[in-house]
Homo-oligomer: A and B are copies of this chain.
Amino acid sequence: MNVNYTELIKKVKGTTVPKPLSGTLSGHAAGEPFDKHVYNEIKKQFPKNTFRQYEYLNELYTQNSEVIGYEAREKLFKSPSVHFLLARGKEVTNKWSSENQFDEKQNDTADVLVVLDNFYKIIDIKTRNLSKSAQPPNIISAFKLAQVCAKMIDNKEFDNFSINYFEIDWELEKNKLICRDAHFASLFKCNPNNLYINWAAAMQLQFHVNDLDQDFEGNREVWAKTYLKHFVTQAKKRANDMITKFVKPFEKYINL
């Protein structure tokens, strides 16, 4: 059972959201309201299985109200990798109760979550102002992804979740933002060796969804190992670059 992305793209094309009252149209915030269109359309496809990340957590903990505390609630996930990606921190999870549920949080991993037969489809929505040639947006922490890959290998979990990106291309038309096009890409279908890590920007992977290749042919285990090799190589390179750029040129001043 897959989300029908072709259908989804058709449905969101041409939709509009109000122009923000103040603030600039730069940055990625302006197009954010489009994510509710995407959420609504996916929910039409899977009414009982579509969640906001915080909604899913609230529902999981509510349905298991006898399970209390971080460690016990961790086991509700069955998958350590999925738990790592979706759960909130230890302190807030300990404090969770039916009267003290989670709210939406800016840096949650998933904007939309589709949970079907213990398979978690994580969908993150990126919006793009077609009138500007902005740098690619932050996608996910490269370190967090490395930790997930290590967990996948440790626990031999190669078939219980996917990470997907959905790009909304919009432009300003009169007093509205209008969606001109949309694109979909699956992280585990790209070639990990092409992923760009911006170490100075909180180690974020950065790409435009529309530009992400979908050419990887190996299975999930090969993907995880290939990514880890890439991550380690890039981390070593960054460490070396730091010496070249930030240490060497200044050494002569230190012992004058």
Contact = CB atoms under 8 A, between A and B. Distances in A.
A202 B231 CA distance: 19
A1 interface: no
B20 A256 contact: no
A30 to B, nearest CB: 11
A143 interface: yes
Nearest to A246: B235
A146 to B, nearest CB: 6
Contacts of A236: 243, 247
B228 A250 contact: yes
Contacts of A203: 200
Interface of A is mostly: helix
A246 B23 contact: no
Interface of A: 20-23, 143, 146, 149-150, 153, 199-203, 224-225, 228-229, 231-232, 235-236, 238-240, 242-243, 245-247, 249-251, 253-254, 256
Report the copy number of this chain in the oligomer.
2
Given A22-B23, A149-B253, A203-B200, A235 B228 contact: no
A193 to B, nearest CB: 13
Interface pairs A-B: 4 shortest CB-CB: A235-B246, A239-B239, A239-B242, A228-B253
Given A150-B253, A202-B200, A253-B153, A246 B232 contact: yes
A201 B251 CA distance: 24
Contacts of A249: 150
A239 B231 contact: no
Nearest to A152: B253
Contacts of A243: 235-236, 239
Contact of A254 (B23, B229, B247, B251): B229
Given A21-B21, A200-B199, A202-B201, A254 B225 contact: yes
A232 B256 contact: no
A151 to B, nearest CB: 11
Q: Which residue of A229, A232, A238 has the most chain B CB atoms within 10 A of its CB atom?
A: A232
Contact of A20 (B22, B199, B231): B22
A146 B246 CA distance: 9
Given A199-B200, A246-B146, A247-B232, A253 B238 contact: no
